Structures are given as C-alpha cells and as structure tokens.
Chains A and B, each alone.
Chain A
Amino acid sequence: KNQVEQSPQSLIILEGKNCTLQCNYTVSPFSNLRWYKQDTGRGPVSLTIMTFSENTKSNGRYTATLDADTKQSSLHITASQLSDSASYICVVSGGMDTGRRALTFGSGTRLQVQP
C-alpha cells in the first residue's frame, strides 16, 4: 500500500530559527515528490518538485532533499519568518494507477513560527 508519513506532526519555532521537516514514503514506482505549503483555510501551493535523479532543490529559504534509495525527503526552512506559519504537505506521485491514487498525500506538518 502506498503511504506517505510526515514528521513531526506539529512544530513550534522562534522567528529567525531554522527547522527541518521529514517525509518518508513507500510509493512505488516513484515518479516525483512535491512539497506544498498550505496556509490555514487555503489551498495547497507547490514549493518544490523532486524527481528521481534530483538530490537537492532550493526555492528561496526552502531547500528540499531527496534520497530515493531510503525513500526519504526533507524540507529545510532557513531563517524562519512569521509568514512561514502553515501546514507543509509532502505529496508523492507514482504507483501503478494513473488516475486514482496517482498522488499519495502525507497528513502534513503544522509549523508555527513565534515572534
């Protein structure tokens, strides 16, 4: 069964600090992995996409890594800002089906940045 597990479930950090969110997946075959940011009550917005051959990708203060061998990804946020407070969702594309379950969603990490 395809699964995506994220940790921690929630995280509180002080403004200016760094943090790392984790994502482990069992989706096979693997196509790509995206990190989405979801502000409260809003739709998810894509931050980065990782394909099988990519190890690291940055988008401003966000850096995603992928280890396809261990099936793990991380999202590192540098110099956090209050606006980083949101849920971060790891979404893995792949599996045998091209319609249903083309995406497997993690349940997200809720990040709260405090002043």
Chain B
Amino acid sequence: EAQVTQNPRYLITVTGKKLTVTCSQNMNHEYMSWYRQDPGLGLRQIYYSMNVEVTDKGDVPEGYKVSRKEKRNFPLILESPSPNQTSLYFCASSKSPRGRDGYTFGSGTRLTVV
C-alpha cells in the first residue's frame, strides 16, 4: 500500500530535550515536505526537499532541522524544543512540488512540549 509513515503518532516532551520525528514513504517520490498545523492557521510549511541531499526552508523553519540522506526518509529534528512548537505535524510526499498527481500525507504527529 502506498503510504507515508510518521512516527511517533503522539509525543510529550520537555523543553530543551532533542527529539526526532521520522517520516518514510514507499512511493519513490522525489519531493517531500513537513508541515505544522495549528488551530485557525491551516498547514504551514516548515522544510521541504526536492531530492536526496537537497533541502530548503519553508515558511516557518525556525527551531527545526531536516535531512534527506535517502530518498524514502525525511526526518524532522527539533534540537531544543520549546512550548511554541506544540503542534500537529504532517509529513507529505509527491512526485513533484506542484502536486499534479497529488500529495500523500502521513497520519500526523501530535507533539506537546511542556
């Protein structure tokens, strides 16, 4: 089954404790992206990757890092999480950025930073 798999689904952590949210896709998509979703604000792009070793900032990159060492994986790293990073996070992939064939989203990771 074609899918984007995120882990964990739920995470509660303390301020400053480094964490990684994993994302993996099995569709051989070149384009991958991370979003955060907050009430009333819709989905906002954090980072995206056009291909292996090619990553760039989205609209809200502060406090996040990413890497793309393999085509299928695109982990999101929070080096020193803060409470304002409490949010619902989605990873997505597609054949191309414009998503002519559609974006496939993961099931989401609900992160709470206390």
Contact = CB atoms under 8 A, between A and B. Distances in A.
Report whether chain A binds chain B. Answer: yes
B108 A32 contact: no
B63 interface: no
B98 A32 contact: yes
Interface residues of B, number: 27
Nearest to B88: A41
Contacts of B107: 42-43
Contacts of A93: 98-100
A100 B59 contact: yes
Contacts, number: 67
A108 to B, nearest CB: 6
Interface residues of A, number: 24
A64 B40 CA distance: 23
A71 to B, nearest CB: 17
Nearest to A98: B97
Given A100-B48, A100-B58, A107-B42, A34 B97 contact: no
Given A100-B56, A100-B59, A34 B102 contact: yes
B21 interface: no
Contacts of A44: 43, 90, 103, 105
Interface string B74-107: 0000000000000010101000011110110111
Contacts of B12: none
Interface of A: 31-32, 34, 41-46, 49, 89, 91, 93-94, 98-103, 105-108
Interface of B: 4, 40-45, 48, 50, 56-59, 88, 90, 92, 97-100, 102-103, 105-108, 110
24 contacts: A32-B99, A41-B108, A41-B110, A42-B107, A42-B108, A43-B90, A43-B92, A43-B107, A43-B108, A44-B90, A44-B103, A44-B105, A46-B102, A89-B42, A91-B99, A93-B99, A99-B97, A101-B58, A102-B99, A103-B97, A103-B98, A105-B42, A107-B40, A108-B42
